[in-house]
Structure 1
Amino acid sequence: MFNKVILIGNLTRDVELRYLPSGQALAKCGIATNRRFKDASGMQKDETMFIDFTVWGRSAEVANQYLKKGSRVLLEGRLTLEQWTDQSGQKRSRHSITVENLKMLDRKGDNEGYGQQPPAQGGYSEPTAPSYNQQQPSHSAPAQPQQPTQQQPVQELPSIDIDEDDIPF
């Protein structure tokens, strides 16, 4: 059996960071995801899901430092069932996500994004936000600056008007 969830959405509240007695960092937050579809009568409908999630370790500290309510993120993890007894003695449960990979999707200036480069002159560039994998931290040497060999002309890219809802993934 395989339990994997991938969600893209916006944080519903600021990240709540705490440390366990062992020193392990734990962050909790919530994400809102949207789905737009046409119902049987052809009317455009929106469906919003609110899901809590948990992030552990260094990723929890990074999330607390750079994310805030409204930040756009991609979460990859596993679905977890939480069960408890409330103060009135009722058994309660809910599903949440235990995050294994976290990627910040905001661009610079949007919610004070982290790690993005400005767009190339006259064009568009994808955000270069770091991805945080909790299972396998990356340890790489810093990149050495490259010396340009010759001046390259700036290529003008056409403007493309794409609605986020038109993207199939």
Structure 2
Amino acid sequence: MYNRVILVGNLTRDVEIRYTPSGSAIGKVGIATNRRFKAANGEQRDETMFIDLTFFGRTAEIANQYLRKGSKVLVEGRLVLEQWTAQDGTKRSRHSVTVDNLQMLDRPGENSGTGYGGSEGGYGAPKANSGYGQPQPNRSAPASAPQQPPAQPSVPEIDIDEDEIPF
């Protein structure tokens, strides 16, 4: 079986982070994704889905530090069914996504004025080995050095058989 979810959207609230007794971070947040489609009457319509996300470990700490409500992200993870008993005794359940990979899509100052670093006006530089953040240009290169075009971002390929596509 294959359980993989890839979503692009905006966070619906700031990341809520908690720590387990062993010190592992758990972050919870929501994401809103949009889909535009043409209705049966020919009218263009928008559909918005709200999905809960859970981050673990270092990813939770990075999300808490750099992401805010409205931040645009790409997440990859797996669908999970959460079940619990409410205070009134009823059994409750919901689906959420446990995030394995996080990619921040906003640039500093682009996120409707909220920014990533609070009063700093930008999100600074995360640790170099974390894999998050944007590469910094080499400012020590001489002005006469030839400029190379920026690398194109890689888009993950998804291996889907044409028989699995519903349209």
Q: TM-score, normalised by structure 1?
A: 0.69
Secondary structure of 2:22's aligned partner? coil
**In the alignment, is the contact (CA less than 8 A) between 2:65 and 2:116 conserved in 1?**
no
Amino acid in structure 2 at the alignment position of 1:27: G
CA–CA separation in structure 2 for the residues paired with 1:67 and 1:11: 8
1:137-156 deviation digits (Å, cap 9, x = unpaired): 66xxx99x57459444899x
**In the alignment, is the contact (CA less than 8 A) between 2:29 and 2:54 conserved in 1?**
yes
1:41-63 deviation digits (Å, cap 9, x = unpaired): 11001000000010000110010
Instruction: Note the C-alpha offset of 1:108.
Output: 2.1
CA–CA separation in structure 2 for the residues paired with 1:58 and 1:154: 33
Amino acid in structure 1 at the alignment position of 2:37: F
Secondary structure of 1:64's aligned partner? helix
Give the fraction of aligned pairs with identical amino acids, expressed as a percent: 65
**In the alignment, is the contact (CA less than 8 A) between 2:26 and 2:54 conserved in 1?**
yes
Is 1:57 aligned to 2:72, yes or no? Answer: no
Residue equivalent to 1:40: 40
Amino acid in structure 2 at the alignment position of 1:66: Y
Residue equivalent to 1:90: 90
CA–CA separation in structure 2 for the residues paired with 1:85 and 1:153: 60
**In the alignment, is the contact (CA less than 8 A) between 1:107 and 1:113 conserved in 2?**
no
Secondary structure of 1:101's aligned partner? strand
CA–CA separation in structure 1 for the residues paired with 2:102 and 2:148: 33
CA–CA separation in structure 1 for the residues paired with 2:21 and 2:146: 55
CA–CA separation in structure 2 for the residues paired with 1:154 and 1:102: 27
CA–CA separation in structure 2 for the residues paired with 1:91 and 1:57: 29
Amino acid in structure 1 at the alignment position of 2:104: M
Change (3 A) 1:88 1:109: same
Amino acid in structure 2 at the alignment position of 1:43: E
Instruction: Structure 2: give runs of 5+ residues left out of the alignment.
Output: 118-124, 150-167
Instruction: Structure 1: give runs of 5+ residues left out of the alignment.
Output: 115-128, 131-136, 156-169
Residue equivalent to 1:107: 107
Residues 115-130 of structure 1 mapped to structure 2, 5 A cutoff: none
Amino acid in structure 2 at the alignment position of 1:86: A
Aligned length: 132
**In the alignment, is the contact (CA less than 8 A) between 1:37 and 1:46 conserved in 2?**
yes
Secondary structure of 1:61's aligned partner? helix
Q: TM-score, normalised by structure 2?
A: 0.70
Secondary structure of 1:62's aligned partner? helix
Residue equivalent to 1:7: 7
1:53-101 deviation digits (Å, cap 9, x = unpaired): 1000011001001111111110100000000110111111000000000
Residues 63-82 of structure 1 mapped to structure 2, 5 A cutoff: 63-82=63-82
1:124-166 deviation digits (Å, cap 9, x = unpaired): xxxxx98xxxxxx66xxx99x57459444899xxxxxxxxxxx
Instruction: Note the C-alpha offset of 1:110.
Output: 1.5
